[in-house]
Amino acid sequence: MGHTPYGYRIEEGKAIVDGEKASNVRNFFNAYISGFALTVAAEKAGLKMCHGSAGKMLRNKRYLGDDYYPAIVDKEIFNKAEKVRVEKARALGRVREVVEKPKSEYSMKFTISKVEQKYTDPFKQAEYAYSMIEREV
């Protein structure tokens, strides 16, 4: 298994909640929801981390609990934090909408007939082989 998220520890192959660290995680979520910036909310919760790490912690769904990790944050708090995060990102113009690329007008199907000539020079052989490629219409 990879990195153990902050707030958990592994004992006898099982993830268990680390009380003090889990409290820091809850305090971080609550501070962020109450309006503090990511790094400020982290500092208020007793966490020393940069903006990126704090953002990843805020989006880590393991804190909701799964088959391996017990829940530290309830779904309501997690969803509120995500809503606040998205609203702040939109206000700062940091949300990029996915733009669907237009489909190519060109055919991307090609065929090549059997390469029959053999050259000792690999560049000549490659030139010959590429000359045999035909585009399907």
Three-state SS for the chain is: CCCCCCCEEEECCEEEECHHHHHHHHHHHHHHHCCCCHHHHHHHCCCCCCHHHHHHHHHCHHHHCCCCCCCCCCHHHHHHHHHHHHHHHHHCCCCCCCCCCCCCCCCCCEEECCCCCCCCCHHHHHHHHHHCEEECC
Domains and CATH numbers, the chain: 8-91 (3.90.1750.20), 106-137 (no CATH)
pLDDT of 130? 86
pTM of the predicted protein model: 0.68
pLDDT of 9? 95
Task: List the end-to-end C-alpha distance of the chain, in Å, as a whole number.
Answer: 49
Contacts of residue 23, defined as CB under 8 A and 6 or more positions apart, other chains included, come to none
Q: Which residues of the chain fall short of a pLDDT of 70?
A: 1-2, 106-107, 136-137
pLDDT of 44? 95
Helix axes 75-91, 51-59, angle to 10 degrees: 140
